[in-house]
Every structure is written in structure tokens, then in C-alpha cells.
Amino acid sequence: EINMEGCEKIEISENCVNQGTENIRPECFELLRVLGKGGYGKVFQVRKVVGAASGKIFAMKVLKKAMIVRNAKDTAHTKAERNILEEVKHPFIVDLIYAFQTGGKLYLILEYLSGGELFMQLEREGIFMEDTACFYLAEISMALGHLHQNGIIYRDLKPENIMLNSQGHVKLTDFGLCKESIHDGTVTHTFCGTIEYMAPEILMRSGHNRAVDWWSLGALMYDMLTGAPPFTGENRKKTIDKILKCKLNLPPYLTQEARDLLKRLLKRNASSRLGAGAGDATEVQTHPFFRHINWEDLLARKVEPPFKPILVSTDDVSQFDSKFTSQTPVDSPDDSTLSESANQAFLGFTYVAPSVLENIKERFSFEPKSALLGESWAAQEPLSGTEPPASSFLHTVSAEQMDVCSSSEASAPLPIRQPAGLNQTKQQTYPSVAKRPGHLRMNL
């Protein structure tokens, strides 16, 4: 036991810790391109022009407070996204660098993911080969497992929310529908998510837990391998009816391992679904479908992705829709007329990533590097064996419970250019498939 007698006691406050850090504001960033537009604002590609990380390229999500505060659910979405992005750091989850606000707007500064959306790669290909799908599903499973370890249900897994970095690795984005502080045995009742990938227990409003994410992974896997989600109808009601009642139709060209995994993930009884047990992600990752995955190398991002974006610079926007990137980037004038009571909802929104704080302390001068944000994960001591590292990056945090539901804000469609030599490694024979159903695309 340490003898504390004679030691000077110093009170540490937030102001003391953050003393000397730069004041992050919109003027710190130069607008380069429009990447997308949503119901509540825009997403820009920006360059930081002052302070730490000057010259670095980021994505800046700008949300209008006046639009958000009209609905308590939407306010909860925004707070949940910001809180979760602060809490969760993982190689396959987008990094939040800064969060700040002005009188009328909220700003999230995120790492710039130059590979665009997996959705557009899937739309271009029609369907994926099983080895391609296996790679993406494996990386996604690790991200979901990490979220679950932190008491977070993702609840909105779909191709549009899966981004690719410059190397082609997965990054989960858009955390507005997540449920915080959900641990084993806890059930939530909010109705949320995208219908085609939604678990039956959510539709039935019978309460749900983290098992809903494994249903969604199964629906995503089915989409990748067949060209459409497992249950789709002419309208919302018919789609729901099919999810609740229809038999799962598996194409004959699927391998036995793929068929078995789909059956186990798409079980309507949530308690018997693969991943619903105590093992969570490990149950899924040890399935024979993933038998060729070296989980240690995958986590370190040493496994070569199936598709690598063709990029010529750090600010390359070729993987994004020219409908947006061709627009002149303008952040509309700030409307700071929001009432004081309305602004109370956004207290504590400001955030600076620990890595940035360290850079400031060390008088760090930014110079562009080839390594991406988060690459330092790979430099850590490797895990022993090739079993799925279920407990990797375990960091349990307490978070404010929020009752969050569906949002009217949609993701911007982000097309991907097809790399050269794409089909050289394909071995498995698949039928030719037309483009995915148009109604699955989220239009702004």
C-alpha cells in the first residue's frame, strides 16, 4: 500500500485537463467537396487549415439543430451517434475526430473514407463471390462484436452504412439508430432500422436484444450472395409479412457452408439464432463458412481486401457520386435563433479525439502519412492463435440510455469505380444477376 502522507493533493478539473487545446470551429476547415446531402444537413469533404492535423482531409457532417429538435427521437439519434462514436474505437468502425457546435448547427468531423459505400460495389457487381462476401462479413462481425461488448446494438446494418477506406477495408458508419447501454438480458422495444434487414422481433414489437444484429448480418449475407435481401415485397406491409411468415428460399448455387450459416442467422426464434448465446460474435466467427479466415491477421488488416479503390490522392472523390461532388460546397449561414431551452439538448456535444490532444501536448506538426487513422491498432502485440478474438478491445462504458428510433435522414448514394483486374481471382460460378432492386436504394 502506498503511503500518501506528505503528498500534495491536486484537484483535476475538465478545464485543467483541456487547458491549451485549440478552439475547434467551422473556420478551422476548408470546404473541398460535397459528399452527400440528407434531411438535416450535408456531408462535406474538408481540409483542416489550422492547428493540430493541419492539412489533413476529413469528412464533415453538418446537422441543423432546428430540424433535429422538432422531434425528440431525432435529438436522441444525434446524441447517440456522437456518444457512441466517442466511446467506440475499432479498426472497422469510423473514427470521430472532433465534435463541436455553433448557435444553429452541430458538426461531426470524421475520418474521410475514400473508398465510398459497399452498397455501390454490390450494386455494380450484382452479387459477390462467397470468398468476397466472407471477407466483408468477417470484418463486419468483428465490428458488431466490439459494439456488443460495449453494450451497444447497431440495429441498422445494411450495405449503405458500410463504408470502405482507401485500402478497401470495412468501416461501419451512421450510428443514429444504435441503442446504448444494452447488456446481456436487457430487452428494448423501439421500432427502428431498415425494413428489408429488420429482425422479426423488432417488427413484432416483442422486445429485442443484440441478436437482432446477427439477423441483419444474415440478411446482408443473403443480399451479397443473391442480389437482394431474403424477404422483399411490393410495399412495406408485404415485406413485413414475408419477414414474419415466409420460408427462406436458398438458391442451389450456394455452398453447404453458406446455406447452413444463412439458416442459423435467419432464425425467427431469436434465442436459437447463431450469435444469440453468451459467445456472441465468437459463435458466428467459428462457423465453417469462415474456416479460412485468420482472425488475428484480419483484425490487424493484413488480409488483402477483394476490391481496392483506385485513388490518385488523399482528397480523391472519384468513388463518390458526381451528382454531389460536382456541386459547389457551401455551408449555409448559421441560424443562431434557437431558444436557450432547445440548445440545452446539445450540452456537452463538443469533443476532441484523444489522439489529437496528444498531438497538441507534444507540439505535433502534421505531415501527410500513408497510414490511415486507426492503423496503429495493427501495431499492437498480435493475439495468439487464429481463433476469433472475442474479447479484443473490450472497454465497457456507461452511457445515457436513449429511446431511439427511425430517422428521416437517408444516406447519400456513393458509387464506386470498378478496379482493374477485378475478375481475375474469381473461381466460383454464379448466375448473372441484374442490378439490385431499385426500391432498396435510399434516395435523398
Output the CA torsion 239→241→246→251 (10° steps): 0
Percent of residues in the chain assigned helix, strand, coil, to nearest 5: 30, 10, 55
d(CA 135, CA 275): 18
- Judge whether 38 is annotated as a binding position: yes
- Judge whether 103 is annotated as a binding position: no
**Beta bridge partners of residue 162, listed in sequence order:** 172
- Judge whether 40 is annotated as a binding position: yes
Catalytic residue among 74, 95, 131, 156: 156
Return the closest-CA partner of residue 411 out of 154, 87, 36: 36
Contact 353, 53 (CB under 8 A): no
d(CA 366, CA 364): 6
- Judge whether 85 is annotated as a binding position: no
Residue 316 among the catalytic residues: no
Contact 188, 205 (CB under 8 A): no
- Judge whether 55 is annotated as a binding position: no
d(CA 261, CA 265): 6
- Judge whether 39 is annotated as a binding position: yes
d(CA 225, CA 259): 10
d(CA 388, CA 172): 19
- Judge whether 35 is annotated as a binding position: yes
Instruction: Dump strand ranges (E) for 168-271.
Output: 170-172
What type of residue sits at position 184? D
- Judge whether 41 is annotated as a binding position: yes
Binding residues for ATP, as ranges, are: 35-43, 61
Binding residues, as ranges, are: 35-43, 61
Catalytic site positions? 156
